[in-house]
Amino acid sequence: MSPWALRRWPGHLLVLVLFGAAVLLGSWQYDAGRAEREAAAIDLTRSEPVELSTVLGPDDPFPAPSVGQPVSLSGQWVPEATVFVERTDGYWVVTPLAVGGAGRPALPVVRGTSPEPRAAPVSGSVELTGWLQPGEGTGAVDDDPTDDVLPQLRLADLVQRVDQDLYSGYAVATEPTPGLAAASLEQLPETDRFTGARNFFYALEWWVFGAFAVFLWVRYLLDEARRDDGEQESRLGS
């Protein structure tokens, strides 16, 4: 192998790594968008409840195909972490439930709805069934972060309110706790219909980046080869 080619092996390896990373990241972004579209196309809300542990563990990322899956769970309420999430027709009353007992990882549970941001407290242990949902990310701004009223049910906003870990989703109870009206999935904020397209374009950006890195490297090699050829011709002519 010529010295010219040997000197450029580090560049070959770097471009190969960049191209491989771009392909993998683009594929991951595309698969994420496809999973969201498939989840939106499947209505699980009428299926039979399953144990929460068979769908989602305390350290698991939220499974996109399980949006709306009815789950059964039991645990102990964490009433001091109750928050009120704004909805168009009132407020969701959300209290974390330490799944399996006090001190265990907690799943936020929408206990029901209230016309005002207040509700009777709950305590003790409970068994319930709820529809599983991922945390919201509508981009709404919280005008007063010091109160217990939230514009969206974003899990990151709840982490600082509880001492234990939180699951990567929440449940909307099928039956409300006393004093509250039943919550409905129809009260969820409207999903972005362009999410799938946005994920596709993000994936396309990664693929274009990888192709551009290869193009620049090939262009550089061709320019270097032409320059070396020119230098050799000059030496021969002299």
pLDDT in tens, 131-150: 999 998 777 777 888 889 99
Model confidence at 1: pLDDT above 50: no
| Cβ atoms of residues 143 and 78 within 8 Å | no
Which residue type is seen at 130?
G
Mean pLDDT value across the chain: 83
**58 phi/psi in degrees, rounded to 5:** -65, -25
What is the Cα–Cα distance from 220 to 213, expressed in whole angstroms?
11
Report the percentage of the chain scoring pLDDT > 70.
82
Q: Which of 171, 100, 104, 106 is nearest to 134 (CA)?
A: 171
pLDDT digit string, tens, across residues 105-135 = 999 999 999 999 999 999 999 999 999 999 9
Residue with tokens 């450029």: 8
Model confidence at 178: pLDDT above 90: yes
Confidence (pLDDT) at 217: 82
3-state DSSP assignment of residue 50:
strand
Read off the pLDDT of each residue in 30-54 and give the average, rounded to a whole number. 74
